[in-house]
Amino acid sequence: MLEFVVASGKGGVGKSLVSSTLAVVLHRSLGNVIAVDADADAPNLHLLLGVERWSEEKPLVISKVAYIIEDRCTGCGECAKVCTYEAVKTVNGRYVIDPFLCEGCGACIFVCKSMAIKRRMEETGRIRMAWTKYGFPLISAKLNVGKPNSGKLVTEEKEWAKSIASRPSLIITDSAAGIGCQVIASLAGASLAILVTEPTPAGFSDLKRVYAVTRHFMMPSVLVINKFDLNPSYVRVIEEFARREGIEIVGQIPFDDKIPLSMAMMKPYIEAYPETETAKVLINIAEKIREIYLDWWNWLKEHRPREPRPYRPKILPPESFKSV
């Protein structure tokens, strides 16, 4: 079983466009794809794939929320002083905890001399599975209101995907944007990162950050440049970076204002506008990924990073923000 993760440092650069294309085209030719939408904050792969009904759904209970046992509370207010999330409020003179603001850190429990605060597990969200009309299953997640996204949720999604794989399968994970814990959970244990960027300073800067995370894990990656025709001079900057790092560019997608229309139609772009130049480019990218999949072990031997490059993010102390 191989797992290819479509990732980008920045949101809105075309990750889901690439993921939906890969899932549809590769399932047609290989017949073994499982798609995972790992962006529980803003899941949209089910919309692109026209999913109208979930076949199975299960709750995910991973977050803790504090609550006050009213008759033990003396009203000293110590809990409110330590809660940096401002979750402790007074209502009609009584201290209560707002479950939407509480992060379950436990600081209030630590300072409450009356032992009046406890924590309970709360449903964080739901994980869902649907059979798409293209013949492959999609696993997606949805957070409950006010609940934080987490790597644990992504890990649960990937575990579900693995559990339904009945034979050698290709899992295509559409990661969240950025380099947070959901992205790290998406990349953990995966075989290949398919990085998507756009030719802008922000796109390039965020590409370098997510690439640094893939290098930390010694994971091979390939690159897709979206909207390449909007800023050709910046494309050259990205190409130079890819050349220096030995990253294969598997395709450059032109700007196309029909992409949002295909989303509104709840269809993958290649299904909505199959005759366009953009569709040809997208199918060509999928073909290159298919070649990599079919020749995986040889490709890996050639492209796997040779040595680790630990990623140490810069931690800025609070004092450094004072002048801002």
| DSSP structural state of residue 178 | S
Among 13, 17, 35, 88, binds ligand SF4 (CB under 6 A): 88
Size of site (CB under 6 A) for ligand SF4: 28
Any alpha helices (H) in the chain, and if so which ranges?
15-30, 45-48, 78-82, 107-111, 151-164, 181-187, 201-216, 232-245, 259-264, 269-272, 277-294, 296-303
Report if residue 147 touches ligand SF4, rule: CB under 6 A.
no
Report if residue 124 touches ligand SF4, rule: CB under 6 A.
no
Closest approach, Cβ 261 to ligand SF4, in A, equals 43
For residue 257, CA distances in Å to 254, 261, 263, 286, 287 come to 10, 8, 11, 21, 24
Each residue 12-51 as x (binds ligand SF4 by CB under 6 A) or -, in order, gives: ----------------------------------------
The Cα 123–Cα 134 span in angstroms is 31
The Cα 118–Cα 76 span in angstroms is 16
Report if residue 74 touches ligand SF4, rule: CB under 6 A.
yes
Q: Which two tokens stand for residue 23?
A: 């899932």
Considering only CA atoms, which of 169, 212, 180, 167 is closest in space to residue 193? 212
Report if residue 75 touches ligand SF4, rule: CB under 6 A.
yes
- Strand, helix or coil for residue 139: strand
| DSSP structural state of residue 311 | -
Report if residue 122 touches ligand SF4, rule: CB under 6 A.
no
Among 68, 138, 213, 247, binds ligand SF4 (CB under 6 A): 68
Q: Which stretch binds ligand SF4 (CB under 6 A): 48-56, 98-106, 182-190, 302-310?
A: 98-106
Report if residue 284 touches ligand SF4, rule: CB under 6 A.
no
Among 18, 26, 35, 116, binds ligand SF4 (CB under 6 A): 116
Q: Which two tokens stand for residue 227?
A: 């909207």
> Nearest-5° angle of CA 170, CA 194, CA 57?
50
Q: Which stretch binds ligand SF4 (CB under 6 A): 75-83, 149-157, 246-254, 290-298?
A: 75-83
Q: Which is nearer to ligand SF4, 116 or 210 (CB)?
A: 116
Q: Which is nearer to ligand SF4, 12 or 75 (CB)?
A: 75
Closest approach, Cβ 69 to ligand SF4, in A, equals 8
Among 8, 21, 95, 194, binds ligand SF4 (CB under 6 A): 95
In DSSP notation, 50-80 reads T----SEEEEEEEEEEEEE-GGG-----HHH
CB count within 10 Å of CB 30 equals 15
Type of residue found at 30: L
Report if residue 77 touches ligand SF4, rule: CB under 6 A.
yes
Among 2, 30, 96, 107, binds ligand SF4 (CB under 6 A): 107
What does the binding site for ligand SF4 look like in residue numbers (CB under 6 A)? 66, 68, 73-79, 82-83, 85, 87-88, 95, 97, 102-108, 111-112, 114, 116-117
